[in-house]
Amino acid sequence: MSKKLSQKNSDSTFYILLIMTIGLVLFGWYNVYWEYFSLKEATIKATQASALEIVRATSRAAEVYWQDQLIIEGLDPASITPEQVRDIEQKFLLDYVDPIELLVPEGNAWIIGSDDSMVFDDSPDFQQYFGMPISEFIAKQATVPGGASDYDQMLSDVQTRQEGTGWYIWEQDKGKDYAGKYMWEKGIEIGAWTPAVVDEGNNIKWMIGLTTPLAAIMKESGARDSVNHTIFFMSVVTVVIGIVFYSFVIGQRRVRALQKEVAELRIEIDMTRKQQDVNKIVNSEYFQVLKERAAELRARAEAHGRK
């Protein structure tokens, strides 16, 4: 009974240790995930704040640039034509906006003109959408395989000329060169946008934005390296715990095997002792006398039976 109770207690201890070990490992990996999530959110917010300051400064520069171009070109705001407006927008794009980037070359600034159409540079991504308002060309891009998505907030802010921060996807594979094994980050572009009211009387308002691929932000900011170091450390800890627990399991199996061997050996010893005791009794003089007397009694009984 005591042996069975001891075995039951041993099994209970083993399963408790197993559950605790698995729980600790899972808790460690949960902390790794939480660190990645926290770093990503903090990096996104910092990037959006930086992008917002850049587009605000660019917006202020746009207002000054507009007035300078009116003077240089000798244009009258009261009689300016849409073609002349687009010409100034194009010049501002080339002189001020195209050189802007955040962290990586893929961190692009852009302008939505007063007629809601994109002010285009030589980027092949946009040439097919030349002259279309943003509501049309982004919807068309959404129908392309691996195209735009999650752009509702940005589109709403652009159309209503509201300042904002957020994210959207223009191409699903954008930033894949920075993503590495973090493939879920590719495509997402983090950014900020703000209006530039260059001529309030004529309701000429531009929208200036700056976006950068999330994968590039995570890599270039150092957040990715921090997460990778934590993952490496946790991987080593998991392997070490696995080895230690495996060694413990093997040790337990050996102990149980030895206990079984000892139990079997005890049984064999007990049987041997019993046999030796029986042999001692059978071979004793007293047993031999009893055996002879029993034989005599059987012989007398048989002889009496024949009479």
Q: How do residues 232-270 score in pLDDT, each as one tens digit?
A: 999 999 999 888 888 878 877 787 777 777 777 777 666
Sequence-distant (≥ 6) Cβ neighbours of residue 70 within 8 angstroms: 76, 77, 80
| Whether residue 192 has pLDDT greater than 70 | yes
According to the model, what pLDDT value does residue 234 have?
93
First to last CA, the chain: 59
| Whether residue 4 has pLDDT greater than 60 | no
Q: How confident is the model at residue 134 (pLDDT cuts 50, 70, 90)?
A: very high
According to the model, what pLDDT value does residue 283 have?
72
| Whether residue 2 has pLDDT greater than 60 | no
Q: Where are the domains of the chain?
A: 44-221, 233-301
- The CB-based long-range contact list for 74-79 (8 Å cut-off, 24+ gap) reads 77/199, 77/201, 77/202
Average pLDDT over residues 49-66: 95
| Whether residue 181 has pLDDT greater than 70 | yes
SS3 state at 111? strand
According to the model, what pLDDT value does residue 41 have?
95
SS3 state at 284? coil
> In this structure, which CATH number among 1.20.1630, 1.10.10, 3.30.450, 2.60.40 belongs to the domain 44-221?
3.30.450
| Whether residue 117 has pLDDT greater than 70 | yes
Sequence-distant (≥ 6) Cβ neighbours of residue 148 within 8 angstroms: 138, 141, 142, 168, 169, 170, 171
Q: How many other CB atoms sit within 10 Å of the CB of residue 149?
A: 16
